[in-house]
Amino acid sequence: MVDAHSPRLQQHALNALFLPSAYFPAMTHFGNQRQDYIVFSRSFDMLDFRNVNIMPVYKKFLRAYLSLWRELYVDAAFRARRE
């Protein structure tokens, strides 16, 4: 989990190939303020959604997540082989 108001920490997570997976507004409470957090994840297993009934409200998020996952892991592997 990374503070949503810390672009430097978010960039570190992205550089380590973690993907943004969830956003939690007002997750923690510091004094009179609430802090938002972004959850980053990294999957080492093949993602398989064949038998999952995905609610329409989550389809856009899932498409974006899978696109980024493919770019960072699958496409990067093929680029590395060509070099």
Dist CA 78 CA 73 (whole Å): 9
Task: Give me the residue label for tokens 């972004």.
Answer: 38
pLDDT tens-digit series, residues 9-52: 999 998 898 988 888 888 777 788 888 999 999 877 777 878 88
Task: Give me the residue label for tokens 């108001």.
Answer: 5
Dist CA 3 CA 35 (whole Å): 7
40 C-beta neighbours (distance < 10 Å), count: 19
Own/partner pairs, 25-32, CB within 8 angstroms, 24+ separation? 27/1
11 C-beta neighbours (distance < 10 Å), count: 11
Task: Give me the residue label for tokens 């810390």.
Answer: 6
pLDDT value of position 27: 77
